[in-house]
Structure 1
Amino acid sequence: ILKLMKLKVELHFTDEYHPNNYSVDFRRSINPKQEYDFEQKTYFQVFDNRKGFLKNLSIVDLLFNQGPNTLNYL
């Protein structure tokens, strides 16, 4: 995904787990079953004419439908 979006991110791999005591854990900040007051901008989707705009899909859907315009959308 990073390559398709032409984002340069340096990744470092380890052979063992190293706990990071300085980071903030956001894993419980978002609940998929909870409704959020967020209005997503629409973008062209292939089946838009039959299904309408389907919101809350993945970055993969955005990449497949927007291609090089993905970063501008975000």
Structure 2
Amino acid sequence: MRVVAEIPHAAVKITVFAWNGKFLIKLERGPYEQTYKISETDVLGDEGLKHILDETFINEAVELFGQMHQNLMAAQERAD
């Protein structure tokens, strides 16, 4: 696996990897991460990836991070 790009963004850390004919898009925020796999044939290189990673996608990912946090907090409360 190799790093293809690190795309700067204020809300999340975005790293793109290439592996086995796929791009892995890894988004990180605090202790949480999301990874999306896209076939290299479905996008036209780095520019194609940047078009996919538009503000709508990032905003929805940030909302999902919030849901992930809520899920973890609820699970910890049930465990107590």
Answer yes or no: same fold by TM over 0.5: no
> Which protein is richer in helix relative to its size?
2
Give TM-score scaled by structure 1 length: 0.23
Task: Give TM-score scaled by structure 2 length.
Answer: 0.22
Structure with the bigger percentage of strand = 2
Larger RCO, structures 1/2 (Cα 8 Å, 6+ apart): 1
